[in-house]
Structure 1
C-alpha cells in the first residue's frame, strides 16, 4: 500500500487489504445534508492536498433553486478551498469498484473556515464548550422508513412489501418478526457499517409500517454527526439493492408516526473526566438543570434547524410518538425533553424534538447551542411534568413560516451558531417556504374547487 493509505483508519485499511483502490470521493455536507463534492482517481487524490467548489452550494434550496440574496458578496460564487479530514476516511462498499469517501472541511481564500458550512458550524459550537473546559457528548438515534419505490410524486408513499407480502406486518413496535420482514436490507446495513468501521448500538422496529430505528454509541459530536451523514447515504444505498427506498422524511406516510433524530446529551469536565450533570454524591447538579432550562428557553427559536421543511411540522401531532411541547420528565416519552434511566456517570438529557430530516451537523449544533446558552445564563427549567404531555399546550411553532420568524429574532442563538450561518440559513429556508406556498395540493383541489 502507498504511505498515505497506511495512515488511514483501520477499517479503511482492512477494506483495501489485497485490493487496488480505484477512486476517492471528496465530499462535504450542504445545508440539507446532501453529499456534494468530486470523485477523483486514487492516483490523483494521492497527489492533491485540497480541491475547490463554489460557495454557492450552500445557497441552493432542496428543490435545486438558488438563493442569491444569501450571498453577502452579491453572488459572485467564489471558490472554497476544501481540505480532507483523513480521519473520516471510510469505504463506499456499495460501489462497483474499490472506493473510499473522505469528508472535507471548507475554508475561504484567506484560510478561514467558511461560516455556513454545516461541519464548521458544529465545530464552532463544540469549541465554545472546550473554552469552558468541557467536552460535550452526544448519542443520536436515527429513525427512518423503508418504503416501496415511489417514482411518481403524485402518488402517496406506501410501506415496502416484506417477506410475507403484507406491508402492515411491519408495524409492530419492537417486534423481531417485523425486523425480519426486511431482513436482507438490514443485513446489508450491518455489512456496510462493518466495512465502514461504524458501531451500531442496536436496530429496532419502530411504531410505523416499515419504520426502523438505529442507535449509535455516544461520543464526540463531530464524529457522531459524520457517522449520521455517512449512514443516511449508506442506508439509502442498501435499500436500493432490494428494490425499495429508505426515506428520512419527518412524516412520509399519512396516518403513521413521524421519524425523529433523538439526541442524547451529557457534558464531561475535561480535567476530571466527570459528568457535570452529576454531583459527588450522584445527585443532579445545577449544570444539569441549567442545560435543561437552556433547551426549554432556546429551542423554540431553533426549531427551523431541527425541523427544516414544511413536512417536518406534520410530525408534531398528539399521540403519534412525537413531542408537542418542551416539558421535561424522567423516563416519560411523551415529553419533548426526557431524562432516561441511567447511573450518575451516564446521566443525560434526551432532546426528542429534532426530526430525522434535519442536517445532523446542524441539528446537533443547534441542540448543543441551546444547552450551552442555558449553562452560561444559568437558566432554570420548569417543574418536572407529571402525566401525559400530549394533554398540554404546544411550546413551539407548528408551521415553518412562524418558526423562521422566531429564528430571525434569536440574536443569542445567531451569535452562538454564527451570524453568517444564521443569515444564509434563514434566507435559504424562506426561499424554500415561498416555493412551497406556490404549490396547490390535492386537498385544496378536492375540498375547495367546488365548495367555496
Structure 2
C-alpha cells in the first residue's frame, strides 16, 4: 500500500500524509457528465489493474431512461474494461473518511477505446491536433448559481439566502460585497480545490442572483476537462454544507442571465513552441483566421453538444449576456466568438456559446473539433463585428430538435469526434427530447386550458 501511495500526484500524497487511505472511488463520466463507477476498499484498489462496468451507462439519458443505441447486436450490456489514469487521483475531501477519486478510461475487450466515452472523444480530437504537430490549449470558465434548496420541481428556483439574511441580489456583477454573501461556501470551494490540487485563477460575482464564475488556468484540454468534471461535484458538495444547492443548469431562473462555460482556445506549434495564432512580428496569422472560420462554419452543427438540453436554449436570449449569433469581435462580449485583449504570445479565441450544463469533455471536444476543421479546410473568418452584436440577426438554433437536425447532418464533425459517438449521442438526445415533448407545462395549462 505504501508503494502505491508514493505513485500518487503530489496533492493526493499531501492530503493523505499521516493518514490511512480508506477507499477509492473509480469513476468515469457518462454522456451527461455524471460520475459513474464503483467505490472499493483502498487495499483492493492497490491490487487491481482495472474494473468492469456495462457499456449501457453510455446509453442512459439524464432522466434515467435508456436510448436504443446499443447497435445491431442489441442491448447486451457488455462489460467494458475501465483502467485508471493515476495522474487524476484526487482527494474527495467532503467524505467522512479518507477517500480518493480516480478517473478511468473505457476500453472494449480487445483493448480499443470505447468511441462514445466522453473522455475518449476528447482524447481523439486532441490526437488529431498532435498528428499535425499542434498542441491545443484551453482555459474554461465556469458559471453557476447558488440557490435555495429546491425539493419540489413544481416550485420556481429562488436565490440562496446570504450571510446578511437577505436573498442574493441580481445585477451586482463583480461586486465584492455580493461575493462576501457567499463567503462560507467559497471558503469551502477553495479548501476542497486546494486538497484536490486545483489552481483557481479567480472567483467573481456574475450578473445573476447568486451567480458566480470560476476561472481556471490554461492548459491541456483533457486535464482541464477532468478539472471541470471534478469541480462540478466539488462545488455541489461545498454548497450542501451550507444548506443551499449549486446548479449548473444553463437557465435556472427566468429573467436572469444563464450560465456558460466559455472556452478560450490557442494552438501551439509543438516544434517551435510558438503560438500558431501570432506571426513573427506579433500579427494575426492565417491560422488565427482559419480557426475562427472553422468555429463560424461548424459550430451550428455542434450546438447540440454545447447546449445539450431543452433548457439550454433559454440561455440564448438577446441582451441577456449570452450570444445569439456567430459574429466574432475583438474585446466584444456581445459576440459569440470573442478575441480577448492579450499580448501576441497569449493570443486566443474565446467560444462563448457552450453552456455550463454541457459535459466538459464533449463541450471542449466539439469546440476544438470545429477549430480543427477550420485549420484543415482553411476556412477564412468573415469580417470582425463592430458594435453591438445583439442588433444583428440570430443565427443559432432556438430549440433542441433543430440543433439535433444540424448535428445529425454534420459528417465532417462526425469524422473528427467519431461516427459511433455521433450515432449514440444523437439517439440518446432524441430520446430525451421526445420525453420532454410529452410533458405539459404550467404555461400551457394557464394560457391554453380555457382560452383555445
**1:353-380 CA deviation, whole Å, 9 max, x = no partner?**
0000000000000000000000000001
Query: Is this contact kept in 2: 1:70–1:428, CA < 8 A?
Result: no
Give 1:170 shift: 5.5
Query: Is this contact kept in 2: 1:170–1:181, CA < 8 A?
Result: no
SS in 1 for 2:169: helix
In the alignment, the residues of structure 1 paired with residue 285 and residue 395 of structure 2 have an alpha-carbon distance, to the nearest angstrom, of 25
Look up the match of 1:203.
203
1:297-312 alignment runs, 5 A limit = 297-312=297-312
1:230-269 alignment runs, 5 A limit = 230-269=230-269
SS in 1 for 2:383: coil
In the alignment, the residues of structure 2 paired with residue 214 and residue 130 of structure 1 have an alpha-carbon distance, to the nearest angstrom, of 29
1:158-197 alignment runs, 5 A limit = 158-169=158-169, 171-197=171-197
- 1:406 lines up with 2:406 in the alignment: yes
Give 1:395 shift: 1.3
Look up the match of 2:356.
356
How many residue pairs get matched? 452
**1:14-61 CA deviation, whole Å, 9 max, x = no partner?**
000000000000000000000000000000001100000000000000
Look up the match of 2:397.
397
In the alignment, the residues of structure 1 paired with residue 83 and residue 70 of structure 2 have an alpha-carbon distance, to the nearest angstrom, of 24
1:41-60 alignment runs, 5 A limit = 41-60=41-60
In the alignment, the residues of structure 2 paired with residue 71 and residue 41 of structure 1 have an alpha-carbon distance, to the nearest angstrom, of 35
In the alignment, the residues of structure 2 paired with residue 31 and residue 61 of structure 1 have an alpha-carbon distance, to the nearest angstrom, of 8
Look up the match of 1:131.
131
Query: Is this contact kept in 2: 1:30–1:57, CA < 8 A?
Result: yes
Look up the match of 2:336.
336
In the alignment, the residues of structure 1 paired with residue 44 and residue 72 of structure 2 have an alpha-carbon distance, to the nearest angstrom, of 34
In the alignment, the residues of structure 2 paired with residue 21 and residue 282 of structure 1 have an alpha-carbon distance, to the nearest angstrom, of 51
Which piece of structure 1 moves more, 69-78 or 21-30? 69-78
Give 1:394 shift: 1.2
Look up the match of 1:15.
15
Give 1:420 shift: 0.3
- Structure 1 gap segments, 5+ residues each: none
Look up the match of 2:384.
384
Look up the match of 1:450.
450
Query: Is this contact kept in 2: 1:162–1:170, CA < 8 A?
Result: no
In the alignment, the residues of structure 2 paired with residue 278 and residue 428 of structure 1 have an alpha-carbon distance, to the nearest angstrom, of 40
Which piece of structure 1 moves more, 429-438 or 72-81? 72-81
Superposed CA RMSD in Å reads 0.7
1:305-324 alignment runs, 5 A limit = 305-324=305-324
Query: Is this contact kept in 1: 2:160–2:168, CA < 8 A?
Result: no
SS in 1 for 2:416: helix
Give 1:434 shift: 0.1
**1:174-204 CA deviation, whole Å, 9 max, x = no partner?**
0000000010000000000000000000000
Look up the match of 1:76.
76
- Structure 2 gap segments, 5+ residues each: none
SS in 1 for 2:271: coil
**1:302-342 CA deviation, whole Å, 9 max, x = no partner?**
00000000000000001100000000000000000000000
In the alignment, the residues of structure 1 paired with residue 317 and residue 72 of structure 2 have an alpha-carbon distance, to the nearest angstrom, of 38
Query: What is the TM-score when the length of structure 2 is the normalising length?
Result: 0.99
Query: Is this contact kept in 2: 1:287–1:375, CA < 8 A?
Result: yes
In the alignment, the residues of structure 1 paired with residue 94 and residue 417 of structure 2 have an alpha-carbon distance, to the nearest angstrom, of 35
In the alignment, the residues of structure 1 paired with residue 423 and residue 401 of structure 2 have an alpha-carbon distance, to the nearest angstrom, of 16
- 1:419 lines up with 2:430 in the alignment: no
SS in 2 for 1:128: helix
Structure 1 residues 171 and 324: CA distance shift in structure 2, 3 A? same
**1:261-311 CA deviation, whole Å, 9 max, x = no partner?**
000000000010000000000000000000000000000000000000000
Look up the match of 1:99.
99
Give 1:171 shift: 4.0
In the alignment, the residues of structure 1 paired with residue 394 and residue 437 of structure 2 have an alpha-carbon distance, to the nearest angstrom, of 24
Give 1:163 shift: 1.2
SS in 2 for 1:384: coil
Look up the match of 2:370.
370
Give 1:75 shift: 1.1
In the alignment, the residues of structure 2 paired with residue 342 and residue 126 of structure 1 have an alpha-carbon distance, to the nearest angstrom, of 24
In the alignment, the residues of structure 2 paired with residue 72 and residue 323 of structure 1 have an alpha-carbon distance, to the nearest angstrom, of 40
In the alignment, the residues of structure 1 paired with residue 340 and residue 112 of structure 2 have an alpha-carbon distance, to the nearest angstrom, of 40
Query: Is this contact kept in 1: 2:24–2:102, CA < 8 A?
Result: yes
Look up the match of 1:122.
122
In the alignment, the residues of structure 2 paired with residue 193 and residue 268 of structure 1 have an alpha-carbon distance, to the nearest angstrom, of 28
Look up the match of 2:88.
88
Query: Is this contact kept in 1: 2:162–2:168, CA < 8 A?
Result: no
